[in-house]
């Protein structure tokens, strides 16, 4: 039983699965992609992107990965699911993403194969790009040293590979487990949560893509969603999904602020608002943002033509 028929929708608008078709390009997301594309095209070596839980890092990483043309890039992404990975496991995973087939567990042999492959890709005019999601799980100096070692495989005129690390704020501390690696960071971008206006646009965007003919959330309801979600996309999705289901169950004509409050409290989201140690990102101040959407689009179009 779901609410799709009640609202006359074609698909669920607020699923938390990282579906590319629902990608909402907020100003912060757009600028992040712009800056990461610059790092990638310029082969700067190493970039970090951090953000709160549910801010959209994984969705952005997958969006970035799918935008990399296989005729120009040898790209791949690994997702860290725990922190107890070994240097050998890491090297073999990187090797696999670069198209190296090997059963070897000898470190020197793996490094030699990686170096040969990077030179081969360079001779073919391909740029090797490795994206690492949940990179805050990289919690040992040994792993950081392996990343630095691979980055040291370079030509006099350019680097041979670029790593993009996506993770929680702890990533900024972990990178300093190997100080020489920390000094190689060419970009450190923090993904911001959505503003109130962006939250409303985000909700409308997902409803429209799901086949909605109108906005089912009142203005006051959107304000409550923003209040309890703090502009975090994953929490916006959770609140909206539950609110639409409750509306369906109760056969309401629309979704008001009281229902949003009831749903949010039942989900325990007041915990984040009362927890003194919680770190709440401030929404983007659009007036202070130098880059307009048009400027970002124009630059990204230039990158895509190259």
Grade residue 290 by pLDDT with cuts at 50, 70 and 90. very low
Domain enclosing residue 144, as ranges? 27-192
Residue 304 lies in a domain: no
- What is the model's pLDDT at position 255? 95
The stretch 239-259 carries a mean pLDDT of 94
Whether 170 and 253 map to the same domain: the answer is: no
Whether 181 and 230 map to the same domain: the answer is: no
Whether 96 and 233 map to the same domain: the answer is: no
Whether 201 and 101 map to the same domain: the answer is: no
Contact yes or no for 215/225 (Cβ under 8 A): no
Structural domain total, the chain: 2
Chain-wide mean pLDDT for the chain?
Answer: 89
The DSSP string of 75-111 is EEEEE---S---HHHHHHHHHHHTT-------HHHHH
The answer to whether residue 1 scores a pLDDT higher than 70 is no
Grade residue 301 by pLDDT with cuts at 50, 70 and 90. low
Residue 4 lies in a domain: no
Choose one of 140, 168, 192: the last residue of a domain: 192
Residue 299 lies in a domain: no
Q: CATH number of the domain that 202 lies in?
A: 1.10.8.60
Whether 219 and 180 map to the same domain: the answer is: no
Residue 274 lies in a domain: no
Q: Give the separation between CA 37 and CA 224, rounded to whole angstroms.
A: 35
Q: Give the separation between CA 151 and CA 165, rounded to whole angstroms.
A: 14
Whether 237 and 92 map to the same domain: the answer is: no
Least confident of 100-114, 136-150, 160-174, 272-286: 272-286
pLDDT tens for residues 101-130?
999 999 999 999 999 999 999 999 999 999
Whether 179 and 214 map to the same domain: the answer is: no
Whether 181 and 228 map to the same domain: the answer is: no
Whether 67 and 186 map to the same domain: the answer is: yes
Grade residue 157 by pLDDT with cuts at 50, 70 and 90. confident
Whether 150 and 227 map to the same domain: the answer is: no
């Amino acid at each position: 039983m779901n609410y799709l028929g009640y609202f006359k929708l074609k698909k669920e608008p607020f699923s938390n699965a990282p579906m590319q078709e629902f990608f909402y390009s907020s100003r912060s997301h757009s600028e992040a992609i712009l800056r990461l594309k610059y790092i990638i095209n310029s082969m700067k070596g190493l970039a970090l992107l951090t953000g709160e839980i549910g801010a959209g890092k994984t969705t952005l990483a997958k969006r970035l990965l799918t935008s990399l043309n296989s005729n120009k890039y040898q790209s791949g992404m690994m997702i860290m699911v725990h922190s107890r990975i070994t240097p050998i496991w890491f090297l073999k995973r990187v090797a696999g993403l670069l198209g190296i087939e090997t059963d070897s567990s000898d470190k020197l042999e793996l490094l030699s194969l990686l170096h040969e492959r990077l030179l081969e890709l360079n001779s073919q005019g391909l740029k090797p790009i490795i994206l690492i999601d949940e990179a805050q799980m990289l919690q040992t100096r040994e792993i950081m040293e392996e990343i630095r070692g691979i980055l040291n495989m370079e030509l006099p005129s350019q680097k041979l590979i670029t790593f993009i690390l996506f993770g929680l704020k702890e990533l900024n501390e972990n990178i300093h487990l190997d100080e020489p690696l920390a000094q190689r960071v060419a970009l450190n971008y923090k993904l911001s949560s959505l503003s109130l206006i962006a939250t409303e646009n985000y909700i409308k965007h997902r409803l429209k893509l799901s086949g909605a003919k109108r906005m089912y959330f009142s203005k006051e309801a959107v304000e409550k969603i923003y209040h309890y979600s703090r502009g975090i996309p994953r929490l916006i999705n959770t609140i909206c999904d539950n609110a639409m289901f409750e509306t369906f169950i109760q056969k309401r004509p629309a979704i008001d602020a009281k229902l949003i409050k009831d749903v949010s409290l039942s989900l325990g989201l007041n915990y984040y608002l009362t927890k003194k140690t919680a770190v709440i990102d401030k929404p983007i101040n659009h007036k202070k943002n130098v880059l307009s959407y048009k400027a970002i689009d124009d630059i990204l179009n230039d990158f895509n033509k190259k």
